[in-house]
Structure 1
Amino acid sequence: MEIKLASHEHSIGYHCLDDETDDKWCEKCTEKICGAAYACVKCELWLHELCAKAIQYLPREITHPLHSHHHLMLDWSGPAAPFTCDLCLKISSGTNYTCCRCPFELDLVCAFASSDDHVARKKRQRSNSERKQTMQHYCHIHPLVLYEYSNEGEHDYNCRWCDKPLTGIFYGCKSCGFFLHEFCSDKIPKTLNHPFHPSHPLRLDFVDATCNACTQWISMSKDFSTAAYGCQICNFNLDFGCAKLLPTLKHESHNHCLTYVGPTFRDLILKYHFQCSSCRELCLDTFYRCVQCDLNLHLKCVPVPPLAKHRYHRHPLLLNQPIREDEIGEYYCDICEKERDPTHEVYNCQKCTYIAHIECVLNQQETSTKQDSSSSPPISMDAKASELKEMEQTKTILVVQVRPVFHKHPLKFCEVTENLGERVCGACRLELSGPGYICQGCLYILHENCAKLPDEIQHPLHPQHHLNLYATSTSPDQNICDKC
């Protein structure tokens, strides 16, 4: 039995191969053939039966109306890596049509779309003729080309500024995978005041330096062709992606707000740069990070409890994997009513569709002051007692202080320090009394109040500058107070 391929000059005959004795490989899918196959013995061409029938009627060469100046050739197996169709911008793999003279590729759907589809597309292109077909954006080293997204289904790329799926008209650099919505292209600030570096504004520029947030060399990262934000005075830099990170979680074990680190850091190699400052294990999943102190904490070490209760929702909230509950691509937190990232872990209610940021659930004190109690019903004594009990239970959980300015190891809470002998506090050098924090490895000890000293203060006798907490002196005799 023979069949004729439209893309091959000879007929190909049917064969049945034994997996153990025959060693033939399919020219289309590049996998070993076992069982039914078709082959051209003259050309040593072998195909699985299904692969042969899939390409049976595909012509070797076509002329496409949107690339009419060159012929497009059929490539059975397609490129080694997934490619991007130049017509629909959909990521595809396998059989495609490619131009031998220029880097133009089409998937099979676009290659054989009806003429009506091409006419409609040309009309849309003419209506967009007033727009710039290419633009040199100040944040990317390569020119950005105008595209129109034509797929209504699954999206393959997100806008690099707002992180939302591409729709409608947008600009992009296909070789770098860098795309911007048309309406986002003029929203990217050239100067940024960022909470990671509040002392100076960060300016957008092409730099060859290390990103202070992800610790990766910017020129070696995925943003190597994109400008980064930097402070030349302090040599502080954030790559384009990390500049969008913000500290959100207030926690009593640390003076700075902590930043949720999620999909941005999912590079398997990059993850090994981060070690939890509490348990000393590698941060291989999502974690919280303080960029200023280079402090990292697993969610379990913060701790982020698996089950939480919020005063404005009657059901318990469960810590859950990222949730995409909205088909139109809009995701909001039900506590702060602000947009949330659908790739971040959240608290959600399993009895209803209540979903909230982790920080909005844990920062209950701040939330309660914002959502004033004037509109809330009065709280009964039983409810108040229950709330106080919950607060006490929460305090017993938060027993770890991580303060690199004092000591490099985690410090654990100790209710009584008098029984530790004649020891002094590592900060104030006074004799220990009452509760405190102790390093079990080095026996370094701090009073409870000293462990919570702020990293920075402003003093009326020196108002022109902030005063930073400094704890590296070797002897109390070496400290000289500028006031007394």
Structure 2
Amino acid sequence: TPHFILAKKCLYKFSSLHAIGFHKECIKPISKHPYHPKHYLRFVYYPDWSGNDKLCFCSNFSASVYSCSLCDFTICQPCYRNPPLLAIDYPKKHNHTLFYFPRKGSLTCDVCALSDHRSLMYSCTQCDFLTHIDCIYLPHVIKISRHEHRLSFTSSPTPGKWWCRVCRGKVDIDYGRYSCLKGCTYGVHSKCAIRKDVWDGKELEGTPEDAYEEDVKSFNEISDGIIQHFSHQNHHMRLNVVTDRTFDENKCCQACTLPICDDIIYNCMQCDFVLHQECAHLPRKKQHATHPHPLSLHVDHQDGWFKCEACDRRNNGFGYLCCESECDFMLDVCCASINEALDNPHHPHPLYLTFNPETLQYCWICQKLGAMRLNCGECTFVLCFGCATLPTKLRYKHDPHFLIFAYDKDASGKYVCDVCEKEADPKSGIYTCHECNATLHIQCLLGVREDMYMMPRGEFIFRELDVNVLPNNHLTRNICRCCHNRCTNKVVYKLSDTIKLCSLFCIYEWWHKKNYSTI
């Protein structure tokens, strides 16, 4: 019988663990438990949980559980000893008393509009209302990263078609949801609104709303066209609207680290410090859809560089750091500029930040697996932040024209990179000159993906190593002392006159070999 099989399985697990023992009373079958009165519950021990679906309704894994062999019901020992109430009074969610509903089935929660057979259900005996136990205590007023106003929970039907602004799915107006307090036509599914990457976990009901100014200027205007930027306070900077300047591959914006092309820029009046006009106008604080907390613009970094959470690239330019002291979330300024809906020239539909960070998808361009991405609302197109922030046009020192970024999933024919003379595939993205028929790989123009936003800028300390970041612009490329390949990146990392490395990865490898083996 199923009971015998389950008991045999339990005894087998028990006998295989000599160091573990149980009280006799603890492993006795339970009958007439208030949360499962129809069947017996038997003790089961799972020492190594590996994808087993025997989870308690509290969603926490416990090695010791009581399980029904006839139906899909499991309760852990903590919940068995301290069970939730059979009746709950919570007027904020429902005016009447809610009672535990023991019957299992495909029951849709009136708060979250989902059917979760594992969660305990509570119902109202006076009206047609059902809810999961966790949904009873959902916050009433919240602030999420995707909207500038606060949202409040509502279960009242509202005419019209509503779409969740997080997952872009349809919102059923017959169930609970969050909507804007200011009257915007902004709605979010209950479960989407309380995701950890969307909501900061704070209940704001009764809390006065602080005046939050996102557009805090990064500079003081001294006179017409002359500013004092917070990142360069010792000197003034002058607006330069001349765009037909001679291209210098070593002249980069100090904020986004991209080369200066035909852009309007701010030049320092006393040194080589330069910023794109757009980068000079970056706000000091902002809220971004990828993180629930506000971000502040940082110039100096503890290690001399940082890794962007969205594109996973290393950067020594400006970055937006989380304002919470215990959170080290950081975005580079390019990824922080991504907003919904994004119109990408290589896709006909707008892209949205509908990703769930608990899932992974492949980017259609670079084919890399990632959590943070942009999804098309009409098809299966996926774009990672790294590819979404690639410049649409760039200059190359050996070409008088602009190189345009090209991507074509249906491309046919062969292209050859003018730098490495290897095949270049438009399906993975390339830079081309339409007038000279020149073709370059992304990495041959910008450097390897991980280090393409590292620019020649000063010195930093990496694990007690003094590292200088220098331009890799000599006629003869250096040979990396770690991987023993030619340094093809746009920068080279110098430890001494004789030790030069091609990437931050090689710096780590060098340090590891130096401390744990003989070089």
Scaled by the length of structure 1, what TM-score is found?
0.30
Q: Give the TM-score normalised by the residue count of structure 2.
A: 0.29
Which protein shows a greater Rg?
1
Q: Which has the higher contact order (CA 8 A, sep 6+)?
A: 2
